[in-house]
């Protein structure tokens, strides 16, 4: 990956394509690349949907290699949902293919003309940008089918659905999986709206004739990768729980811990939790002939995804993940896996973040627009988004906006982004991350659940405030670095418990690039990324007062533990004291 592809959308003129050397961005990948480019090149006070914002698409440092778990892609910009810097992360095949094509980043600049939609085709021979207005207002599934018919069955495809074209703040960007289905999404922060504002509907990546990127030291690379794989497979979470039940294994765990937000964060326990659990999902898919677990990209050895089929064995969606099952399930009082799978399919097709959309529907239920538990009503709301009606556009704008329109006081967001599937009052480590993350409420930015609930990397009592700031800080630093590598975040579980697995990861990077990095160097990279993101947000007008949870988390106790979020503002302000 020795070059950057820039595509400048010119409004009324033809797009301008250029390829340049990495220059000051040499050595960067994934989130390090996206955040550094955005921090340097995007004016922090610009409008997220304007010409001065940029959409940066970057594979990780290890993407396109034989390293296990290295297929994540980062997509960055200034977020139309939060107004902050944003890196949204997805699996699928795009990262591996883009890296093999030699690009460390695609940077899309300027703005579309508001009339035409463009497709971008990239292969070893070059780049072609062309108008394709036949794609207008197609869902991701139909878009992918048209691109497969034109470019073949082996390309990787990045695309937006109707939500991205409408520039809705909860719009996602889809990446195709191994079956060429648009099921892997850079969901959070409205990155799909930025792609829509640029006038780009789809990017087709074809690596035919190319092979994996070669490490500087192939023998050391193979040995380190073997050690790394062994560490993943022998850990209880990545070697047993996730391969057996997928991410939705967490439903029963969080429900039993009293940290499963239900009926728009009113309680921490959902009576219907067992009906939508990972265990039940796996049983159902085994019975129906679906796939209880399955990789989202080649090289995945954890296999935490799956393929969900209906009672007749017909494909509905990828197996809905924990956050999706919660957002459309327990949060909304829905305990029907088939309905949740339909909602997941619709989110993927329309191009919506399942978390912000599910939370928005739950807030709408709280506001009386429909009743908790009304699965068909939730499906109808997504149909409204697909049609672009005023109500649909409100739902597709996320939880904060629909809450304001309906006069709902209990709106679980930070910096405009919906809080995910762990209640801040009973899983306080991840709550600190929600409050202080550079990108709004985001569990993946510093997954305190690992130590609070799963007892990975030690144990910090989830119901007490002590130790949560240090936990979140350390996890945010480590996560930023992992996001730069292109590795799946789930490698953090064995890394936290097994020093030899962490050392193997560092050895993989060193063998790939001929470096001599240490663990301290990895931490320094994480700090560098976070500092650049914080600096951007500060210039965009964000202060420490924005690093706060909604007040109802401090005032309303959560059954069954009857706890409140009691980490002080003063302590929250210490998270970034590196």
Q: What pLDDT, on a 0 to 100 scale, did the predictor assign at position 426? A: 98
pLDDT in the model for residue 552: 97
According to the model, what pLDDT value does residue 11 have?
A: 82
Mean per-residue pLDDT over the chain, rounded? 97
Q: Tens digits of per-residue pLDDT, 504-548?
A: 999 999 999 999 999 999 999 999 999 999 999 999 999 999 999
**Tokens read off for 276:** 């939508």
Tokens 């529907």, residue located: 361
Identify the band that residue 12 occupies on the pLDDT scale cut at 50, 70 and 90. confident
CATH, domain range 262-421: 1.10.569.10
CB 144 within 8 A of CB 181: yes
Give the span between the Cα atoms of 371 and 385, in whole angstroms: 19
Average pLDDT of the segment spanning 349-370: 98
What distance in Å separates the CA atoms of residue 409 and residue 212, rounded to the nearest whole number? 52
The confidence band for 295, taking pLDDT boundaries of 50, 70 and 90, is confident
Q: What is the DSSP string of 405-437?
A: HHT-S---EETTEE--SS-TTT-HHHHHHHHH-
Residue with tokens 């556009």: 393
Q: Is the pLDDT of residue 567 over 90?
A: yes
What CATH number does the domain located at 3-205 have?
Answer: 3.60.9.10
CA atoms within 13 A on the CB side of 23: 8
| Residues 132, 137, 139, 142, Cα dihedral to 10° | -40
Question: Do the two domains 3-205 and 262-421 of this chain adopt the same fold?
Answer: no
> If you ran DSSP here, which 8-state letter would residue 213 be given?
P
Give the pLDDT band (50/70/90) at residue 108.
very high
- Residue 568: per-residue pLDDT: 97
Please tell me the distance from the alpha carbon of residue 496 to that of residue 236, in angstroms, as a whole number: 12
The domain segmentation of the chain, as residue ranges, is: 3-205, 262-421
The DSSP bridge partners found for residue 172 are none
Predicted confidence (pLDDT) per residue in 329-341, tens digit: 999 999 999 999 9
From the list 302, 344, 375, the residue with the least C-alpha distance to 174 is 344
- For residue 294, pLDDT beyond 90: no
Contact 72, 156 (CB under 8 A): no
For residues 560 and 269, the answer to whether their CB atoms sit within 8 Å is yes
Q: What is the pLDDT of residues 120-175, one digit of tens each?
A: 999 999 999 999 999 999 999 999 999 999 999 999 999 999 999 999 999 999 99
Distance between CA atoms of 156 and 73, rounded to whole angstroms? 12
Q: Which residue has the tokens 């690039």?
A: 513
Distance CA 4, CA 1 (A): 8
Distance CA 84, CA 102 (A): 29
Q: What percentage of the chain exceeds 90 in pLDDT? A: 97
State residue 174's pLDDT score: 98
Whole-angstrom distance, CA of residue 309 vs CA of residue 64? 31
Nearest to 417 by CA among 385, 439, 394: 439
* pLDDT for 418: 98
Above 90 in pLDDT, residue 433?
A: yes
Question: Cα 454–455–458 angle (5° rounding)?
Answer: 155
Residue 298's pLDDT is 83
Q: What is the dihedral sign for C-alpha 71, 83, 400, 382?
A: negative
Judged against a pLDDT cut of 90, whether residue 1 lies above it is answered with no
pLDDT(379) > 90 = yes
What pLDDT score does 13 carry? 86
């Amino acid at each position: 990956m020795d070059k950057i592809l820039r595509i400048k959308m010119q409004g009324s003129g033809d797009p301008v394509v250029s390829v340049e050397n990495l220059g000051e961005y040499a050595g960067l990948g994934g989130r390090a690349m996206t955040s550094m480019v955005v921090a340097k090149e995007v004016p922090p006070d610009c409008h997220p949907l304007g010409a001065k914002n940029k959409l940066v698409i970057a594979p990780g440092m290890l993407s396109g290699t034989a390293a296990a778990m290295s297929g994540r892609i980062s997509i960055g910009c200034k977020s139309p949902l939060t107004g902050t810097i944003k890196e949204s992360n997805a699996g699928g095949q795009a990262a591996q293919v883009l890296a093999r094509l030699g690009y460390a980043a695609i940077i899309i600049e300027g703005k579309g003309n508001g009339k035409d939609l463009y497709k971008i085709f990239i292969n070893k021979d070059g780049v072609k940008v062309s108008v394709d207005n036949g794609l207008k207002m197609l869902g991701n599934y139909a878009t992918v089918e048209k691109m497969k018919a034109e470019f073949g069955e082996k390309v990787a495809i990045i695309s937006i659905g109707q939500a991205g074209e409408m520039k809705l703040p909860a719009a996602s960007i889809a990446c195709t999986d191994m079956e060429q289905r648009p099921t892997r999404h850079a969901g959070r922060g409205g990155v799909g709206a930025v792609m829509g504002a640029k006038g780009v509907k789809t990017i087709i990546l074809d690596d035919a004739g190319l092979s994996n990127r070669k490490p500087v030291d192939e023998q050391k690379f193979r040995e380190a990768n073997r050690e790394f794989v062994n560490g993943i497979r022998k850990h209880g979470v990545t070697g047993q729980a996730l391969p057996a039940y997928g991410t939705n294994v967490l439903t029963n765990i969080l429900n039993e811990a009293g940290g499963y937000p239900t009926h728009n964060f009113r309680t921490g326990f959902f009576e219907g939790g067992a009906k939508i659990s990972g265990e039940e999902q796996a049983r159902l898919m085994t019975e129906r002939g679906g796939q209880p677990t399955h990789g989202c990209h080649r090289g995945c050895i954890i296999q935490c995804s799956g393929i969900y089929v209906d009672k007749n064995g017909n494909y509905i969606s990828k197996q809905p993940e924990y956050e999706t099952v919660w957002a459309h399930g327990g949060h909304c009082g829905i305990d029907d896996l088939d309905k949740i799978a339909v909602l997941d399919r619709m989110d993927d097709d329309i191009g919506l973040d399942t978390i912000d959309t599910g939370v928005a529907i739950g807030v709408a239920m709280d506001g009386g627009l429909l009743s908790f538990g009304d699965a068909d009503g939730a499906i109808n709301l997504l149909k409204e988004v697909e049609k672009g009606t005023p109500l649909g556009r409100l739902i597709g704008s996320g939880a904060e906006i629909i809450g304001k329109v309906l006069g709902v006081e209990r709106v679980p967001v930070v910096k405009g982004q919906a809080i995910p599937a762990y209640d801040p009052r009973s899983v306080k480590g991840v709550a600190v991350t929600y409050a202080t993350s550079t990108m709004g409420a985001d569990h993946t930015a510093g997954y305190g659940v690992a130590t609070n609930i799963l007892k990975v990397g030690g144990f910090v009592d989830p119901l007490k405030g002590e130790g949560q700031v240090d936990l979140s800080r350390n996890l945010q630093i480590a996560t930023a670095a992992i996001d730069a590598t292109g590795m799946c975040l789930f490698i953090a579980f064995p890394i936290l418990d097994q020093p030899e697995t962490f050392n193997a990861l560092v050895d993989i990077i060193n063998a790939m690039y001929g470096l001599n990095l240490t663990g301290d160097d990895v931490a320094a990279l994480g700090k560098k990324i976070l500092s650049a993101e914080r600096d951007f947000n500060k210039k965009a007008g964000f202060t420490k007062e924005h690093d706060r949870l909604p007040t109802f988390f401090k005032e309303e106790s959560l059954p069954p533990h009857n706890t409140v979020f009691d980490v002080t503002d003063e302590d929250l302000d210490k998270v970034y004291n590196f």
